[in-house]
Amino acid sequence: MMNRYDSDADMTGQLTTGTGYLMNQNIRLKNPTEMTSLEGRVAFVTGAGSGIGRAGACAMARCGAHVVVTDRDGGLASAVADEIIAEGLQCSARQLDVGNDDALVEAIDDTVVQYGRLDILHSHAGLQIEGPLEQVSTEDMDASWALNVRAHFVAAQAAVAPMKRQGGGSIIITASNSGIQYDREMIAYSTTKHSAVSMTRQMAADYAKDNIRFNALCPGFVDTPFNAGFEVQMGGRSGLEKYISENIPMARFGTPGEIADAIVFLASDMSTFVTGHALVIDGGECI
């Protein structure tokens, strides 16, 4: 039977169960600053040159992590790193095309060699191609699979070994709320995002024993250039804005900063008992 903990835990770490037994698990209650601290940790982020990837990288650096910022556009990656370093924080940049398996593995391996560890992987880079079945080519479907599923698989596979050696870590896979609902006329995007959520949950089940947490980040509409495919599918920017005002209960776009808050949650000690979760941040769209 599952224990119910008394709301008044002994501050020394004694927890009282609903049956009256004491469980001494040496738990020290932490304050919020300690729980969000990423001091001494190394984070590797793909697709971090703009939008959500950039916001998450900045947020983790501000929480104390050394962040390795990567992007297919090396100039964007360097600009984000310069911005973070200008704040007196720790960051490095690297040009990386996650569609190149060897380059992706090499980048993660180099991070471990250079910094001695890897605590957080945020595999964020992805691709959005609009259209229903009859309009999406097999080449576009393959491209969607390569970035939205395969690249996450390759990155996670490279990160698991060092995380096992050091006793754990957090792997965050960017999926989408399109991975838990079905968008109209977005077959390549929705299919691959559902696959990313399923794969994340499978990996979570397989590696929980190693204290490696896998969670899927599932944003809704955030006002970034990544919405281009949805704008086409909805007939332009005005059509997308109309959809948001009429179909999202909070009637607005999310912000990259709001998604970054969720990234810090999944990366930090605030979520030490969270794995296999699809964390939806979408203003209520999928309700």
Q: Which positions are annotated as active-site residues?
A: 189
Residue with tokens 């005005």: 238
**Residue 226 CA, distance from chain mean position:** 16
Angstrom distance (rounded) from CA 202 to CA 207: 9
Distances (CA, A) of 95 to 68, 76, 111, 226: 10, 9, 13, 19
Name the residue among 254, 147, 246, 159 with its Cα closest to residue 210: 159
Name the residue among 130, 144, 124 with its Cα closest to residue 231: 130
**Residue 124 CA, distance from chain mean position:** 6
Q: Are 179 and 216 in contact (CB under 8 A)?
A: yes
Instruction: For strands 66-71 and 120-123, give the pairing.
Output: unpaired
